Amino acid sequence: MNKIAAKAIVRAANVRTASHFRIDKSCAFDSCADGIAAHFGYPVIVKPLSEGGSIGLTLATNRETLEAAVMGQEADLMAESTSPRGPRAWEF
């Protein structure tokens, strides 16, 4: 399932989720990176939209590690803000 669609479903049930930014692979990297930096700063969690669990998850701590995470994937991605207590993974 698409992670952004899944977030919409759980948010409709009043479940809080981390803020996210969609990374469209057809978009120029610089505009995506600028949007992520403006919305969240670093670190951010980068993950494929359609993989399950934590498959393909990368922690980007700066622009260079964000670029490596994005360029290493073929499909669209999403970046999520991290919790002040650190990233967590939940599976249902």
Kindly report, residue by residue over 24-61, the tens digit of the pLDDT: 877 788 888 888 888 888 999 998 888 776 778 889 99
Cβ distance 79 to 46 under 8 Å?
yes
**What is the maximal distance between C-alpha atoms in the chain?**
36
> Is residue 85 very low, low, confident or very high in pLDDT (cuts 50, 70, 90)?
low
pTM of the model: 0.74
Q: Name which CATH class applies to 3-81.
A: alpha beta
Which residue ranges make up each domain of the chain?
A: 3-81
The DSSP output letter for 79 is E
